[in-house]
Structures are given as structure tokens and as C-alpha cells.
Structure 1
């Protein structure tokens, strides 16, 4: 198998660079990279023979395999990661070897986390918790969404986060109805909703959480939206147990939201896996065919988005266990006030 997805490469080898691939044979595992990463690979890569090649690692690995007459027969490749050009090059080099798309194989392995991985995600989650704790003590109204995002990112980086896994979402007032409303120059005003979605990263592992805040008094409708999202999340969390179909977990939240008349306002999946990537397997969605397993780390994030009225979302990262989910993100879920 030829593994080229960089997060999969990191999972298998520990390599944190941006260029490399892995060749797995029945007898041996090889890691390929170029001259720029010679020293880094020697320091980081574990349980693989390191080979330095000229040019792209993927084609370098193929040439090495042919030159050494490594018996392959059929070679699995990650088609989702290989460009058409790279595929043609592999075909021209690996004459007589059948290529088979095995995309998703390593991702399925990554879906169930080890104790070490869970601890790192929990550390990343704690960084987010502490940043939210600082935010509720700050003056927020009168600042732009970008200013708030910069504050949060600065605090998280000072607190030990590596580069954040995604751009912080700060969406206020009518912009809170944008599920991915990244921070803008809009000035946050009084008596409105503010949705903040952010994550931290520790030793490569991500956290992901969302909280909805109020900057003063809210209308009964906006309060009801938040109460509905909170109840929907609670219903879904009860369904998060090993063996549960991911579609049924999604349904637990979706049915409650639909029952309150907001079905059309919840258009995204309920959640996703979290690990080396902020979004990975499994997916908690209506059409998902996956099931939860103990050790999976997933988000549960129902939302309601109404144009002109605003939006709410409550998201937690939880680990699946035999006794139910354990929340790794722990900042209060109720509607906190921002000054």
C-alpha cells in the first residue's frame, strides 16, 4: 500500500513535515521524503526505513520499489489524495503492477483513538475552554468580530496551541445565521446573538467547539432557538454509545428540532470525528452508514439558523465510551452574557 495523505502519513510514522509518503509491503515499511526533511525524518519517523529521494516522494517511492524489485503485484493507493497527473506517472513507472484505490483505509483506523490521542485532544479542548473563560470577562460589544477572533487566537497560542486547525468563526447579529460566518469587520452590538466556533491544536491533535452568547436581552424567539438547540444536543448525547448508527444519533437531535418547527433551519450534519484533522471519520449525518465505536472522538453540534433573526449552535467534542459520551470540551453550554 502506498500512503500519501499527509495526515495518514503522520498517523503511521510521526512525521510532522509537509512532504512524504509511506510504502507498506508484507515484509517492511518504508518512509520516503526529500532532502529538505532528511534531519527531521531521522528524528521523527518511527518503525519505518527512511529513504531520501529526488523529486516528489510518491513517484520516488514507486521508482525505488521497481529498482529494488519489491514484489507488489497489486498496490493500493489513496486515490482521493492522488492527482490525475501523479496517477499517470505511477502507471508509467509501476509497469505490470495493478493499482487499486484503497482510500479511507487509514482514515478508518484513525477513527478510534488511543488513550494518548484522547489526552492530546482533551488538552486542546482545555485551551478552548480557558479562552472562552477569558472572553466572558472582556468587553466585547463595540469590538469587531475580527478583533474578538484575534483575541481568542492570541490567548490560545499563548496557552500552548499550535497553529489553529481552522479559522475562528465569530458571527454576530444577523450574521450569526451563517453557519460558517468567519469573523468580519462587523461591530458587535448590544442585545444580539454571537456564535463562536473555534479549535486548538496540541501535538497535531485538534479540538472543536462552539458556543452561542448573548450581548444583552434577547427576544423570546431567539431564547427559544437556543433552548431548542440545547435540548437537541442533550437528546443526541444520550444516543452516543458504542454500536449506535451515526444516522440515528443525528436523528435524535434532528427530530427534536423539527418538532419545534425549525427543521428547515438545521441543514448540516450533526457532527464529525476529530483527531489529527478537525473534520474526519465518522460523520454523524442522516445518510451516514457508519456506527460509533468506543474510543471514537466526535462532535455533537446542532444548530438553528434563521435569516435576519440570527443563529445558534452548541458544539462539544466528546469521546465515545461504554457508559456514554465523556465531554472533552467543558465550558458552560447555557446562554452566557458578553459585556
Structure 2
């Protein structure tokens, strides 16, 4: 499909620079099958979902993966996006033309890394020096990697250390938050439990590639960056049992959805999974693992807007996003939510 089919107009003032407070006070656009739209709030979830439904969250934890350093007199910016091993990471690099293989880059707080080699996509492999775990080095030297559409409008600050983590964040390794889950609070989860709506967690370490624009003119020419994920056998069994009992599997966020769809077989059975996925979902895709999706509002021409269009239909999502713009919904990572239920 042509990428320009997924374009739309978005006024800059619709981009949220801070999250709603409290988190579950955010608005939520409910989109049902057939293009039925309802203006709701995140706190309406217990009334909208049914007993036996299961929400699936991503428990990845965002690390301070954005670094500013120097190679000699040259400034070098690095955003880590994928772990290779205990000391090496792949990174997108600003001012990469100043780097050569073997260069030492000095970051704040005495953190140094060697630029080992440049990859075909233009990113670099960095090997961090020393004996301390890289995660500890990043806590000293790094900043939270806010999306460029936020970071370009304001400075990252201490509030982002907590604002850009979900209440489920446990497994360190993401460089972008699974933002749909930012809306959840312990009080909301308790209300969902009382309504008979269950929840499960899986892990997908979100990479910075999620923010890269689609430069190809046709969707089939775009290549996704791989991200590492895991679904353990117990979680897979519980999800399959819930679905067999008539419950719906509702993914909270596109990251959870992409991992579930990577792990499912042709018969709709979710299998345990551990490894990389680069699944790219566009209209025409047959969903097998999920029955619904809660997600924020995405960028024009992005792979994520293509994904929601695959789930609900492009015309429906264009209409829904136009409604959200006119209705002054807040967009992107710190913005409001949508709940997409194609079968209802």
C-alpha cells in the first residue's frame, strides 16, 4: 500500500507535552466495529470491558538511554536502541560522521564507550568500558529518551523519570515506554479486578526504531527494527484458557500486541516466546492473538497508525482521528487513549 494513504493533518497544539494527572484521568475514544465512536474516559474501562476479559501489559522498564558525549572536540549524541550483550549496545548517533571505528566517546560521570563499528542502517555498536553493569552507568550518565516530538519542544526533567514509566515497569531494557499503560493506576487496576477483568504481563524491550519515520513510498519496502521479547509458558497458558472460556484478549499497547501476534500459531493458540521480533502489521493482516487494543494516538504515516488501521480499517481510523483532532484529544506518548474493539 502507498504510505501516503496513512497521512493526516495534526495541529501542533494537539501534541501532549505532559501526561494527565492523575494518570487515569485521561480521556479515551472508544472505537467499535462498524466505526461507532464514543467519547469516554480511561476510568470507564471497568464498565466497558466484560467479565472474563484479560488486559495484557508490557512490563518493560525504560532505561536512561540517551547520552551526550564527546569524541575529542566533537559533540556526539547517542540513543541506545538494542542490547547486543552485557557491555555492547546498538545506538543511533547524532553527528555520526565524526566517528571512526575504535574511537573512544566520553560521556558524563566518567562513562566511556568504544565505537566498534557502523552498521548498514547507519547506527553504531558501542562497547562500554569498565566493570560496572551498563545499566548503572546509564543511571549516572543518561537521560530518559523522550520521543523527539516532545524532546524537541521542551527539556527532559526529573519528572520524566517517573512520568515515562508505567506502574508495571519491571524488566530493564526499553528505550521507549509502552505508553498506553501509562494511564493505569493501582486504583484503576483494583476496579478492573472487581469487575472480573484480569490482567497479564509480557516483556518487549521497545527500541528507538519505533520513532523512526517511514521513508519508503510503499509499505512493503519498509523494514522494521528487531526488538527482543518474551512470553513465558504460564502466561501463554492463562491467556489461551481465558480465550477458550469466552474472554477477550485486549492488548494494552501496540508493543504487547506485536509480541502476541509474533507468538501465536495459525489456530490462534499463543505459544511461549523468547527472541527478536520485527513483525510489521498493515491492512490485510489477519489478527489471531488479540480481540482488542488500547493504545494512544499515533503519528501520521507511522507504522503504528498502519497497525491500528489494519485492526479497524483505514477509513474508520481516519474518521476516528479526525474526530479526536476536532474534539481536542491529546496525542502521542503523553496523550489520551483509544480503545479499539473490532468485534463489538
Query: Normalising to structure 1: TM-score of the pair?
Result: 0.27
Structure with a larger share of its residues in strand: 2
- Of structures 1 and 2, the larger Rg is shown by 1
